[in-house]
Structure 1
Amino acid sequence: MPSHSEPPAKAAPPDTKESRFVFKVAIAATMGALAFGYDTGVISGALPFMSAPLEQGGLGLTPVTDGIVTSALVFGAAIGSLMAGTLSDKYGRRTTLMGLSLVFLIGVLGTTFAPSVAIMVAMRFVLGLAVGGASSTVPVFIAEMAGPSRRARLVSQNELMIVSGQLIAYILNAALAHFYGSPDVWRYMLAIAAVPAVLLGLGMLMVPASPRWLASKNRMDDARAVLEQIRSSDKQIERELDEMVKLNEIDRDQAGWSAVLGTPWIRKLLWIGIGLGFVAQFTGVNAFMYFTPIILKSTGLGTNAALTATIGNGVVALIATFIGIWLIGKHGRRPMLMTGLGFVIATQAALGAVLLLMPEGLLKSYAALACILCFLLFMQMLISPVYWLLMSELFPMHVRGVLTGTAVACQWVFNGLVALLFPIAMAHFGSATFFVFAGINVLSLIFVTTCLPETKGKSLEGLETFLEKELGKSN
């Protein structure tokens, strides 16, 4: 097995035929992340038009049904993550993503042509199944295709495509609202999501199955054939195949939930994965992505200016993700998360102080916006990419799909709780809400510092052996 120590820094791998092929695989797979981002971002622009009466082209949404329509996707995503995790272990990552592209398309068409609130809620739930399934399957598929030297940056493309999808949604929402004055413009906003759904399906037809999943099914000849396409040397291929064979011998009788419930170190990994979902969501990131206009309007800023600031959120998130992808190849997961949480705590506390102490006016609005954008910069640069990367590499091969699906499903539940509780907290506690977030993030920082092992620089097979040794010490 490979050494557990951190390898010395190496030059970037050459731009070989194999590295270009793996990059194309990542692009094809992250069409699911692009659809994920667009579908979660587009609703902010569609809701105002959907609130118009039926006879005027809307669905007659009320504040209550606004919340139901928005949250239907989130709760669908939680279930989709669980389902896709099990399916991807049984049928493969590639096959699961092909199926999810069809579910995406059904959800998109259903929401686009929905004649009533009930059907809209049902179709948003279906869309959520695909969003959640993609969120748990895409990072795992890319991680299993990439070698150790490329894994961090290629998996981080998943986060880049999510924020790109959100930014595209914000920009197209504004453009369609400006240039197409009809009340049914929301249907066009929702219909555009069909594009990444179709691209995901077509992309999966053009890429091979995961070699690690093939090896887990004892299809070693097929696994070798795939590795020959995506690795640069025979030595590397033989090393990875040997590691896969050894793990198969160890884990052959340990697949499924029996491995989790009966193996203490795997149970610990699952709790760490669930805890990381809490860390990611209780930073409050989606409170800002969903409710920035409400926060800024509370400072006295006008409605149009507050809506324009939402595009600023998307731009900053995209720039920060590019920087994060560069950083993640150079630094460990733990220091990035710990640094990011430190800045998140500071910006949350600063925003609370601005809202509490400054008099209403433009200066207060700009100061609040600056705090929000600084928060998003550090969140998307140092926390979000690391979260998705850890979800792709923490769990053992034979339970990787089911445990990733479970952990990501919990992350979606935490997302829904933040979205549900934030407006209530703002109404009752005002600026103190952000001090509460800061306090929660102090606890998150303690959790990361004391519980999270470092995973940088190891193959997935070597990492599995390392984690079993590290987490099994106290058993």
Structure 2
Amino acid sequence: MIHEHFLRFRNKVLFPPPLPLILLLVLVIFFFKLHLLMMDSDEMTPTKTTPTLIFLCVMAVMGGFPIGYFTTIISGAMLIIQSQFLLDDQWLQIIVSTTVAAAAIFALLGGWFNQRIGRKKVILVSCLFYIIGCIVISVATNKEAIVAGRFLHGIAIGLSSCTIPPYLAECVPTNIRGRLLIMFPVLIALGQWAACIFAASLSYLRDKNCSWRIMFGIGGIPVLIKLFGFPFMPESPRWLVSKGYIDEAFKVLKSIYGKTDKGIAMAQMNINSMTEVDHAEESHTRKRECMLFKLLRNRASRKALIVGCALQIFQQLSAVNVVMQEKYYYNNDDFSFVIVNFFN
């Protein structure tokens, strides 16, 4: 019954739901959640909610949205792309898997880029790849161009997924670090859900040639916001310390913790801690001792590493990506697609 009412309503709608209202609702929910996280900080390590801290958290956590969006939107768009370009199963697999393959490769290379040019620059570069990928796919006239755009999106996903969490962890205060890091996968899931909504709505536009192009173009909106806002963000203080820019790192931490006496004291304490860690890493490098082996020898660190890796492994073994990306093989019902991904 619910499905029949939905189809009757949807067939009357020629355009998708108003995008600004949806984005406004998402932003309101996000800012409310962020405010609760800030207010619920540990009293033992008080943190003044500075504008820099709020802006930094919003800009960084927003990076999770396009990761979820562009890994999911292909499922809805592929139904139209397949009929328009007369694609066989082999090309369908290439278009879908190109992004995953590129993301895997550049996620492995991301650590090297982070150390060489800094977290902030890597995040900005990933935004450029997102935008260029959206443009390439939106104006694509053949299947090769779609593959190229998907490859660019894979580069962006790989770089941002391995850069944003460390950037947040190195910038935000310890008493809210864990709770803010949780917001990153939440935004990934929100991007997946938004992709399902837009795919279901836009697939019923009369102009099929435009509908799938709009699907990819919409995902570039939050990336544009991030691209224009992130240049005003500070570089990771941890990276600055590792490169010897102690004074700049201290200025960054003061802007994050606040310029009160407590904020300055916490900034100095973090600088001292980062300097000690940096010296320890240099010592291990000179001794040619692998940090991973030292980490495994520590019982507490070993448990944390095993739990963290196990959670990621079981998340992939749950096959949620199969549900999201292989939908066009099994079911052409966009409404069911939305419901399944809502509970995911």
Equivalent residues in 2 for 1:75-90, closer than 5 Å: 75-90=101-116
Cα deviation, residue 231, structure 1: 1.3
2:80 to 26, 49, 54: 49
| CA distance, structure 1, for counterparts of residue 246 and residue 53 of structure 2 | 20
SS of the aligned residue for 1:51 comes to helix
- Residue 325 of structure 2 is aligned to residue 290 of structure 1: yes
The aligned residue for residue 96 of structure 1 is 122
Equivalent residues in 2 for 1:417-428, closer than 5 Å: none
Asked if the contact 1:29/1:203 (under 8 Å) is kept, the reply is: no
- C-alpha distance 76-271 of structure 1, shift in aligned 2 (>3 A): farther
Equivalent residues in 2 for 1:322-333, closer than 5 Å: none
| CA distance, structure 1, for counterparts of residue 337 and residue 315 of structure 2 | 20
SS of the aligned residue for 2:85 comes to coil
| CA distance, structure 2, for counterparts of residue 255 and residue 67 of structure 1 | 43
Residue by residue, what CA displacement relative to the aligned partner does 1:189-247 show, whole Å, maximum 9, x if unpaired?
A: 11222212222221211110111111111111011000101115222122111111211
- C-alpha distance 184-229 of structure 1, shift in aligned 2 (>3 A): same
| CA distance, structure 1, for counterparts of residue 76 and residue 289 of structure 2 | 45
Equivalent residues in 2 for 1:325-474, closer than 5 Å: 376=344
The aligned residue for residue 48 of structure 2 is 16
| CA distance, structure 1, for counterparts of residue 167 and residue 274 of structure 2 | 16
1:248 to 278, 299, 311: 278
- C-alpha distance 237-280 of structure 1, shift in aligned 2 (>3 A): same
The aligned residue for residue 339 of structure 1 is none
- C-alpha distance 241-39 of structure 1, shift in aligned 2 (>3 A): same
- C-alpha distance 222-90 of structure 1, shift in aligned 2 (>3 A): same
- Residue 158 of structure 2 is aligned to residue 106 of structure 1: no
The aligned residue for residue 312 of structure 2 is 277
| CA distance, structure 1, for counterparts of residue 43 and residue 339 of structure 2 | 35
5+ residue gaps in structure 2? 1-40
SS of the aligned residue for 2:141 comes to coil
| CA distance, structure 2, for counterparts of residue 308 and residue 314 of structure 1 | 10
| CA distance, structure 2, for counterparts of residue 14 and residue 21 of structure 1 | 16
| CA distance, structure 1, for counterparts of residue 155 and residue 138 of structure 2 | 17
5+ residue gaps in structure 1? 1-8, 53-57, 298-302, 317-375, 377-475
Equivalent residues in 2 for 1:169-208, closer than 5 Å: 169-208=195-234
Residue by residue, what CA displacement relative to the aligned partner does 1:59-106 show, whole Å, maximum 9, x if unpaired?
A: 222222111111110001001212222111111111111111111111
Cα deviation, residue 43, structure 1: 0.5
**RMSD across aligned C-alpha pairs, in angstroms?**
2.7
The aligned residue for residue 133 of structure 1 is 159
Asked if the contact 1:293/1:309 (under 8 Å) is kept, the reply is: no
TM-score (norm 2): 0.77
| CA distance, structure 2, for counterparts of residue 36 and residue 73 of structure 1 | 11
| CA distance, structure 1, for counterparts of residue 98 and residue 285 of structure 2 | 32
Residue by residue, what CA displacement relative to the aligned partner does 1:400-422 show, whole Å, maximum 9, x if unpaired?
A: xxxxxxxxxxxxxxxxxxxxxxx
The aligned residue for residue 142 of structure 2 is 116
Cα deviation, residue 12, structure 1: 9.3
Q: AA paired with 1:279?
A: F
- Equivalenced residues, count: 293
What percentage of residue pairs aligned between the two structures are identical?
Answer: 26
| CA distance, structure 1, for counterparts of residue 278 and residue 82 of structure 2 | 55
Q: AA paired with 1:265?
A: K
Q: AA paired with 1:96?
A: V
| CA distance, structure 2, for counterparts of residue 133 and residue 70 of structure 1 | 18
Residue by residue, what CA displacement relative to the aligned partner does 1:326-346 show, whole Å, maximum 9, x if unpaired?
A: xxxxxxxxxxxxxxxxxxxxx
The aligned residue for residue 69 of structure 2 is 38
The aligned residue for residue 66 of structure 1 is 92
Q: AA paired with 2:213?
A: R
- C-alpha distance 103-42 of structure 1, shift in aligned 2 (>3 A): same
The aligned residue for residue 11 of structure 2 is none
The aligned residue for residue 38 of structure 2 is none
| CA distance, structure 2, for counterparts of residue 229 and residue 188 of structure 1 | 39
Equivalent residues in 2 for 1:141-160, closer than 5 Å: 141-160=167-186
